[in-house]
Amino acid sequence: MGSKRCRVRVPAPNHQRQSTEKSSNFSKGSFRRANHSIFCVPFCVLISFMYSIRTKFSLVRYLSIHEIGFLRVLLGGHINTADILQYIPMINDDLTACINSASNESLMALLNNMVQTSGDLRNRIEPRYRHDQCWTDLLNCLLLDGFSVEDNRLVSIDPNIEGQEPVEDEFIRELNASSLSDVDDIKDLLNRSADDFRSTPPDYNGCLSKARIAIETLAKGMALHRQATHPAQYNPSSWGSVLGYLRTSGLITENEEKGLAGVYGFVSAGSHRHVGLSEMEMARLGRNLVASMCYFLIKLHYNP
């Protein structure tokens, strides 16, 4: 019997629905207004229609185990044939370029076709474990993006914002451009969190634990960075004290402090909770909450 799916949708007020266009230059106030629904309920997750970098690399890894001749047929039905002829036969880097240049609609069609013909795809690979390892990893990456396989088709299990880059990819881009300390540590923690989710067998508690440490490391780095312009006493080893300092120094509001504390507490409990969700669903939801809050924090930090 399949596990229940968690569907979360938080509608924005009417005046916030007038435009879905992204803007890279906006004030902290406008960012906070546009995203205040983060704090409406504890399970609101920012998920996008676009596939993550992680999923695209996993797709390339899976495709690369198939013969080139078959790839021409498989990809040619969904991605521009001229591109296929251009990029293949140099399979690795060129196949990556081919997938990265494809539209989301083309990738969705390709992935749906692969799901529907997964039995045939498996029979083409010897030994079978090569297929099974790569295929399972791809499905787990899609789960992290908010997609699951049901009745031999790929379906969205989260609210989607069409054309929006995955929030974790956006956060990593902002993090790379920042002057915060521990940038590499934060990225490593998020990558290891995803690896725990994708491992065989999966380590869902490890996934949530590393995500929790990632947002804690980010917040502590921001507090340290703000000390130069907002000197005040706080305990850098205490999560509550760090959040309190971010609030009193003007970065976050009291309600936002409660929201961050709530997400931290949610993932700290681990995946062993009986709330109608499987351990996998708890881990995926908690990790996506952390990624959303990390993006929220870094955008506030650099849009004072």
Got the DSSP string for 167-217?
HHHHHHHHHHTS--TTHHHHHHHHHHHHHHHHSSS--HHHHHHHHHHHHHH
- Same domain for 123 and 239, yes or no, is no
- Same domain for 107 and 249, yes or no, is no
User: Which tops the pLDDT comparison, 157 or 282?
Assistant: 282
- Are 44 and 296 within 8 A, CB to CB? no
pLDDT, mean of residues 81-86: 53
**pTM value?**
0.76
Domain that holds residue 59: 53-156
Structural domain contains residue 8: no
- Same domain for 117 and 206, yes or no, is no
- Same domain for 135 and 69, yes or no, is yes
- Which of 156, 180, 197 terminates a domain? The answer is 156
29 three-class SS: helix
- DSSP code for 48: B
- Same domain for 238 and 127, yes or no, is no
- Same domain for 168 and 286, yes or no, is yes
218 three-class SS: helix
- Same domain for 69 and 117, yes or no, is yes
Structural domain contains residue 10: no
Name the one residue in this structure whose structure tokens are 């899609």.
142
- Same domain for 244 and 126, yes or no, is no
In DSSP terms, 154 is beta-bridged to 149
Q: What was the pLDDT predicted at 8?
A: 35
User: How many separate domains does the chain show?
Assistant: 2
Statement: residue 83 has pLDDT above 90: no
pLDDT tens readout for residues 10-34? 333 333 333 333 444 444 444 453 4
- Same domain for 145 and 267, yes or no, is no
Share of the chain above pLDDT 90, in %: 57
- Same domain for 297 and 171, yes or no, is yes
Q: How many Cβ atoms are within 10 Å of 9's Cβ, its own excluded?
A: 10
- Same domain for 113 and 199, yes or no, is no
Q: What was the pLDDT predicted at 128?
A: 94
User: For the CA atoms of the chain, what is the radius of gyration?
Assistant: 21
